[in-house]
Structure 1
Amino acid sequence: MAEIIRTEIRSAISTEFTLFREQLSNFEASMQYFSDEYDKITTTLKTITDENTHMRNENNSLQNKMKDMESRLAHMEQEARQNNLEINCLPEHKNENLIKTIVQIGSAVSFPIAESEILSCTRVQKSNPASKKPKAVICKLSSKAHRDNLLGAIQIYNRKNPKNKLNTKLIGYGDTESPVYVSEHLTPANKSLHAATRIAAKEKNYKYVWVRNGKIFIRKDETATSQIITHRDILKSLT
């Protein structure tokens, strides 16, 4: 009898142990499955991360190339204006002869200029149609050097005659002394940047803002170093 009981106990234990081993084997298989799936997910995530990093790097590279192209294009647009002058606040007349007016400006500042050295001279549309100011005049001279020399003569004249700077009376536009402004012909983008620079200079007590060769400069005072302004972000860092 005892032997039968022992046999039954052994059989029961063997059966339970077999079931346990099967369950353990199934558990191990499940763990292996989940481990394999985890590895797949990890690999997929790494691939996605690598692709995302690659795409981000490509995007940054494209943005840098785009900025470089925009910068080159802006430079080319400004270079195309290197022989040009822009005259503002010059009264408009129906039958005006703008080329003769430029000759008169040269004469007024002791810089004789021949009509043959003036390639073209025309009014341009206002950036603000509601403005009551006269349309600006764009004048193209025969060379950049000639343009710069005329500008230099105007600046010298204005410094020597602070109470009688270049004005309409000096160039034969009646008896009223209304200021006439002559400057380099800037691209719309540079003109906007120049205006923003002048505003920033006033807000931050910078004494000097000027344009030379299509580039905008700013200086705090006589003792400070000049700084070139190439974009608006620089204006934010001015102290």
Structure 2
Amino acid sequence: MGIDDRLTSLEQRVQALEDQPVQPAGVPHDIQDLMNTVDRLKLELNDRDQELLSTEVEITGIEETNNENPVHLAVLVAQKLGVEMDSTDVVSAERVGVKRAPNDGDGSGGGDGSAGRPRALVVRLTRRVHRDNLLRAARRARGADTSGFELPGAPRRFYVNERLTRNNRQLFYKARREGARLNWRYIWTRDGRVYARRQSNTQSHRVRSEDDLVKIFGVASVGS
């Protein structure tokens, strides 16, 4: 039985116990044990899903145009960062998310007619080393932009980041928000894992769950 099946089965057992009209004294403890197992399996499932993204990067900030060639854009980004890569190193490249209409503005119906924020470009590469090279080069070349890409408008800065699962992306966002609020200097990801560190000479913490956010930052408002 795979993790998905075990997780579904345990969640059903927890629900069945909670639905019992009269609970014997030992049931609450049983429920807690099952919930702890469910939480552990969810972490394992998230780690497995993250591993499946180990050859992917997410590129943001590149203007989206009609009839664009996403693979070509990925190669241009690599070349701009000084990474040797061609189209044969790209398994797939595509825009993700909902495309905003040009006059979306702030979403209130009173847009100013300017172009919406371009969707992220997700690129899957043939080998993990290509992903690592891109991420390493992007960290060195902060401020790289789209000059020379022959795109409409002024050059725009682009960013290359790890591709994260939905859970890790949400944790990273919340960790950055709380880190900024509490003046933590370092919130980062490495190999799909989220980390936080207050100062360069203090301990680093791995963030795997909402509970970790509360333990690390010591606030109850993290999940709001």
* Shorter-chain TM band: 0.7 to 0.9
Normalised TM-score (structure 1): 0.70
Flag the structure with higher helix content. Answer: 1
Secondary structure in structure 1 of the residue aligned to 2:26: helix
| Structure 1 residue 170, shift from structure 2 partner | 5.1
Q: State which structure, 1 or 2, has the greater radius of gyration over its C-alpha atoms.
A: 1
Q: Distance in 2 between matches of 1:65 and 1:228?
A: 20
Residue in 2 that maps onto 1:81: 53
Residue in 2 that maps onto 1:48: none
CA contact (8 A) 1:103 1:114 kept: yes
Match of 2:78 among 89, 103, 106: 106
Residue in 1 that maps onto 2:181: 203
1:221 equivalenced with 2:221 (yes/no):
no
The amino acid of 2:183's aligned partner reads: N
Moved over 4 A (4+): 127-131
- Segments of structure 2 that go 5 or more residues without pairing to the other structure are 1-22, 108-115, 219-224
Once the two structures are overlaid, the 10-residue window that deviates more, 218-227 or 117-126, is 218-227
Match of 2:43 among 54, 71, 74: 71
- Segments of structure 1 that go 5 or more residues without pairing to the other structure are 1-50, 159-164
> How do 1:149-228 residues align onto structure 2 when only pairs under 5 Å count?
149-158=133-142, 165-169=143-147, 171-174=149-152, 176-228=154-206
How many residues are treated as equivalent by the alignment? 183
Give CA deviations for 1:7-62 in whole Å, capped at 9, x if unaligned.
xxxxxxxxxxxxxxxxxxxxxxxxxxxxxxxxxxxxxxxxxxxx823322321221
Give CA deviations for 1:143-193 in whole Å, capped at 9, x if unaligned.
2222111110111122xxxxxx12122544356232211101111111111
Q: Would the alpha carbon gap of residues 213 and 108 (structure 1) be closer, same or farther in structure 2, given more than 3 Å must change?
A: same
Q: Distance in 1 between matches of 2:154 and 2:74?
A: 18
Root-mean-square deviation over aligned CA pairs: 2.2
Match of 1:147 among 131, 156, 161: 131
Match of 2:97 among 112, 125, 141: 125
Normalised TM-score (structure 2): 0.74
The amino acid of 1:67's aligned partner reads: D
